[in-house]
Amino acid sequence: MTAVRREAFGRMPPEEGGGEVEKFILQSDSVKVEILSLGCIITTLETKDRDGKFSDVVLGFDTLEGYTRKHPFFGAVVGRVANRIAKGRFTVDGKEYQLFLNNGPNSLHGGAKGFDKVLWSPEVLPDGVRFFRLSPDGEEGYPGDLKVWVTYTLNGRQLSISYRAQTSKTTPISLTNHAYFNLAGQGSRDVYDHEISIEADSYLPVDDTKIPTGEVAAVQGTGFDLRQPVELGKHLQKFHLDGFDHNFCLQQVQSPHLVARVCHPATGRTMEVHTTQPGIQFYTGNNLDGSLKGKGGITYPKHSAFCLETQNWPDAVNRPHFPNVLLQPGEEYNHTTWLVFNTA
C-alpha cells in the first residue's frame, strides 16, 4: 500500500506570481518520496540500506527559497526539451525558431524559465500524484500550445514517472527528471565508490560546448563502455576522464527495458532504471563546486552525485539521423521511466 499526503511548502515570491507551493509525500514500506508542485521537483527520496535503515539519496534544499534561486535543476522535470539545442535554433515546417541561450551558445533544459521553474496543477491519485500544465504557444520560443501531464506513482520499491503531452502545432519535446542521486546518502562526499552499468553499445561524442558532433560512436574499447559494472572513481582515473556528461544511445523499442543499474556496495543500496526513452544522459555532477548549501546546511562538491536522465538524444531537432523529437498535432507524446530501489 502507498500512503499519499499533501501539505503546504511555501509561497512563490511576489515577482514569480506568489502562488502556493504544495508538497506531496508518497510512502510505501520501502520508499518515501516527496514532490513539489513547483517544477514537479523530487525534494526527498528515502530508501533502505541492507540493515533496513532509511537515508535520503537525492540532493536538494530544505526550503522553497533554495528552489526559487538559481540551482542546477535539482530533482526537477525539465522541458520542453531536456538537454541542449545547438545555438538555440531549429526549423519546423519551414519556419525558424530562436530560443533563449542559457548555456553558453546553446539552449539548455527548456530555456530561461523552463518547466522546472513553474507551478503545476496537482491531482492526488490513490498511489501517487499527477501534475498538469499548459505551456502556451511561444513560451520560451517554442511553437504550439502544449498540454503536459507528469504522473508519479509509487508501488513498493518502484517509483514510476510517466510523461504525456499533446500539442496544437508541431513542436520538439523531450521530458526528463533531473534528480541528483548519491546512494550513500545525500551529503556524502562523492560517488566514486558507486558501481554503475549502462546497457548501451554506443554514445554521442560532444564538442566543447557539449553539443553532439553528430557521430554515433561505439563504446567498445573506450571509457564509455559501461556494459559491465565499473567502480566509478577507479574508472574515471583509468581513462583520465573528468566525469561524464554524455548521452548513451539505448535500444529503440517501445517496451520498457532495463537501461542502467547503480550499486553502492557499502550500504547495499541499488537503483535500476527502466525506460521507454531512446537515450539516457549520464552526468556525474561535474559542475557542482561546493558553493550551494543543500539539505542540513551541507555543501555539494564536484562528483557528489550522479544523474541518469532518460530522454531523447540532445539536439535531435537539428539531426535528422537522431530519433524523432517532433510531436505533431493529433499525436501523443508518451514515455515512462521506472526507478527500482533494492538492496544487494
Q: What is the CATH number of the domain that holds 131?
A: 2.70.98.10
Residue 84 marked as a ligand binder: yes
Measured distance CA(127)–CA(277) in Å, rounded: 23
Residue 84: predicted pLDDT = 97
Kindly state whether residue 217 falls inside one of the protein's structural domains. Answer: no
Q: Does 117 reside within a domain?
A: yes
Instruction: Tell me whether residue 177 is annotated as binding.
Output: no
Q: Number of structural domains, the chain? A: 1
Query: Quick one: pLDDT at residue 17?
Result: 87
**CA torsion through residues 176, 178, 181, 186, sign:** negative
Q: Is residue 238 part of a domain?
A: no
Residue 75 burial class via C-beta count within 10 angstroms: exposed 0-12, middle 13-18, buried 19 and up: buried
For 227, phi and psi rounded to 5 degrees?
A: -70, -25
Q: Is 178 a catalytic site residue? A: yes
Residues spanned by the domain of 17: 3-191+281-343
In a domain, 152, yes or no: yes
Q: Residue ranges of the alpha helices (H) in the chain? A: 64-68, 232-238
Q: What pLDDT is stored for residue 253 in this prediction?
A: 83
The answer to the question of residue 285 being in a domain is: yes
Point out the catalytic residue in the list 109, 178, 194, 335: 178
321 in active site? no
Within a domain: 207: no
Taking only the tens of pLDDT, the chain with its 344 residues reads: 999 999 999 999 998 889 999 999 999 999 999 999 999 999 999 999 999 999 999 999 999 999 999 999 999 999 999 999 999 999 999 999 999 999 999 999 999 999 999 999 999 999 999 999 999 999 999 999 999 999 999 999 999 999 999 999 999 999 999 999 999 999 999 999 999 999 999 999 999 999 999 999 999 999 999 999 999 999 999 999 999 999 999 998 888 999 999 999 999 999 999 999 999 999 999 999 999 999 999 999 999 999 999 999 999 999 999 999 999 999 999 999 999 999 99
Task: Indicate whether 205 belongs to any domain.
Answer: no
Q: Is 112 annotated as a binding residue?
A: no
Q: Taking Cα atoms as reference points, which of 133, 91, 89 lies closest to residue 114? A: 133
Do the annotations mark residue 67 as ligand-binding? no
C-alpha distance from residue 248 to each of 139, 260, 283 (Å) = 29, 10, 11
Is 179 annotated as a binding-site member? yes
**pTM greater than 0.85 (yes/no):** yes
Residue 235 lies in a domain: no
Q: Which of the following is catalytic: 46, 139, 272, 309?
A: 309
